[in-house]
Amino acid sequence: MRIHAFNAWRPRADIAGQVASTPYDTVDTAEALALVEGNPMSFLHINRPEIDLPEGTDLYSDPVYAKAAENFKAFQEKGWIVKEDRPLVYLYAQTMGDHTQTGLVCCAHIDDYINDVIKKHEFTRKDKEDDRTKHTATINGQIGPVFIAYRDVQAINDFLNPIAAGEPIYDFVAEDDVRHQVWLIEDTATVEKLFKGVPVSYIADGHHRSASAVRVGSERREANPNHTGDEEYNWFLSVIFPASQLKILPYNRAVQDLNGLSEEDFLAKVKEQFTVTENPDLSPTATRNISMYLGGQWYGLSWPEVESDNPVEKLDVSTLQNRILTPLLAIDDPRTSNRIKFVGGIRGPEELSRLVDDKGFAVGFSMYPTTIDQLMSIADAGQTMPPKSTWFEPKLRTGLLSHSLD
């Protein structure tokens, strides 16, 4: 795998916590407005620039992208972010509760994405990919990193781990109580050499950001008759983590109705497919278990191991889809159905009971999280996961380190 040091745009240390923001796709416009109240330095002004435009502005209209570019330039002119005077890479640690994950901030090459050295496990949606492509091209940079995993390499760990014992350039706790620390790495040549020994890596989160980076890079290649492959537009901002450190939370589901079935009839049909118990752990503690909330009661669903050569079929979310969502509830395509709601595991199973008890939903499903080994096995097989199979926490902050395309 090729990695690349870069001249980062980064905030002054005294305001890093105010500048760095939650990713664009974890908040809507109203939530972004609430988060930036009283804070003109938040990168949400660049990542969700509609918050600085009249209410009701089309999120995908030209003025939105123009505002993003205007704000990005203003941050530079005001000195809120300053460009590094030399190419560097960085160590980035996130601590949520008792869990810490530490990755390398660098740039990855779009050819590694194209040639499947960087493997994917999700389809992208055209509208979301178009949005990030236009945003990246208009601001001429990448401000939200792609979250990449690799199978642990001891030599990399041995080199990077001591760096975290030094003095970080950033150390702050964000509004979600996650601690963020960043260290400079001067010896970029050694890091680049070490990562050349990584045969493959995996996009954990950020499929739309990486796909849009490839599109922008490919367009600029075509427009440059002197293209060499080394220009900055060939690289995209990434944070690369050893797989053993990553924490995947479940992605739960709630469905608005029972497709015309009564609760009794629906439960009877579920019992034909699963071993059903009452009062289970609300968050399953092992694979091949789902906790279902129906009619004010929690039920545990379990089943034997699925016999299949396809690793996708062995996922718990696939069993839910194949045995309940499609045949019983007529949700054939969860990507397009407006009857299903996906609930990030960070909200806990209590959000499912709230949706059913107070918000008119009919049934909720609390899942056991997909494992990182399952993710990598599916990517290795060239397969794609069902939508919303993984929820990674903690999320990478936007704006700590940004990559200019020239």
pLDDT tens-digit map of 244-289: 999 899 999 999 999 999 999 999 999 999 999 999 999 999 999 9
Range of lowest pLDDT (88-97, 105-114, 163-172, 339-348): 339-348
Confidence of residue 344 (pLDDT cuts 50, 70, 90): confident
The C-alpha atoms of residue 313 and residue 119 are separated, in whole angstroms, by: 19
pLDDT at 332: 93
The C-alpha atoms of residue 130 and residue 180 are separated, in whole angstroms, by: 30
The domains of the chain, with CATH numbers, are 3-247+393-404 (no CATH), 251-368 (3.30.1760)
Q: Interior CA angle at 378 toward 207 and 346, to 5°?
A: 60
The C-alpha atoms of residue 34 and residue 175 are separated, in whole angstroms, by: 12
Alpha carbon 132 to its chain centroid, in Å, reads 14
* 145 in Cβ contact with 239 (< 8 Å): yes
In tens, the pLDDT along 290-321 reads 999 999 999 999 999 999 999 999 999 999 99
At residue 303, what is the residue type?
Answer: W
Please give the average per-residue pLDDT across 385-389, as a whole number: 86
pLDDT at 321: 96
Q: Which residues contact 151 (CB under 8 A, 6 or more apart)?
A: 198, 242, 243, 376
What DSSP letter does each residue of 9-48 carry, written as one string?
Answer: EEE-GGGHHHH-B--GGGS-HHHHHHHHTT-TT-THHHHS
pLDDT at 151: 96
- Mean pLDDT, the chain, whole residue set: 96
Torsion 139-143-144-149 (CA) sign:
positive
* 1 in Cβ contact with 199 (< 8 Å): yes
In tens, the pLDDT along 77-125 reads 999 999 999 999 999 999 999 999 999 999 999 999 999 999 999 888 8
- Pairing status of strand 391-392 against strand 9-11: unpaired
Gyration radius from the chain CA atoms: 22
pLDDT at 124: 87
pLDDT at 284: 97
pLDDT at 85: 96
Run of H or E including 355: helix 350-358
Please give the average per-residue pLDDT across 232-242, as a whole number: 98
Alpha helix segments (H runs only) across 207-262: 207-223
In tens, the pLDDT along 19-32 reads 999 999 889 999 99
Run of H or E including 159: helix 154-160
% pLDDT > 70, the chain: 100
User: Strand, helix or coil at 81?
Assistant: strand
DSSP character at residue 112: H
At residue 168, what is the residue type?
Answer: P
User: Strand, helix or coil at 365?
Assistant: strand
Please give the average per-residue pLDDT across 208-221, as a whole number: 97
Q: Where are the beta strands (DSSP E) in 138-296?
A: 141-142, 146-150, 170-173, 179-185, 201-205, 235-242, 248-249, 251-255, 275-278, 289-294
Please give the average per-residue pLDDT across 126-149, as a whole number: 96
pLDDT at 209: 96
Please give the average per-residue pLDDT across 370-376, as a whole number: 93
The C-alpha atoms of residue 95 and residue 101 are separated, in whole angstroms, by: 7
pLDDT at 388: 84
Residue 335 scores a pLDDT above 90: no
Q: Partners of 249 in the beta sheet?
A: 391
Residue 15 scores a pLDDT above 90: yes
Q: Which residues contact 19 (CB under 8 A, 6 or more apart)?
A: 11, 41, 42, 43, 75, 80, 81, 399, 400
Please give the average per-residue pLDDT across 58-77, as a whole number: 98
pLDDT at 311: 93
In degrees and rounded to multiples of 5, residue 404 shows phi and psi of -85, 145
pLDDT at 221: 97
Please give the average per-residue pLDDT across 363-383, as a whole number: 95
Bond from prior residue into 168 cis (ω within 30 degrees of 0): no
The C-alpha atoms of residue 166 and residue 184 are separated, in whole angstroms, by: 10
Predicted model pTM: 0.89
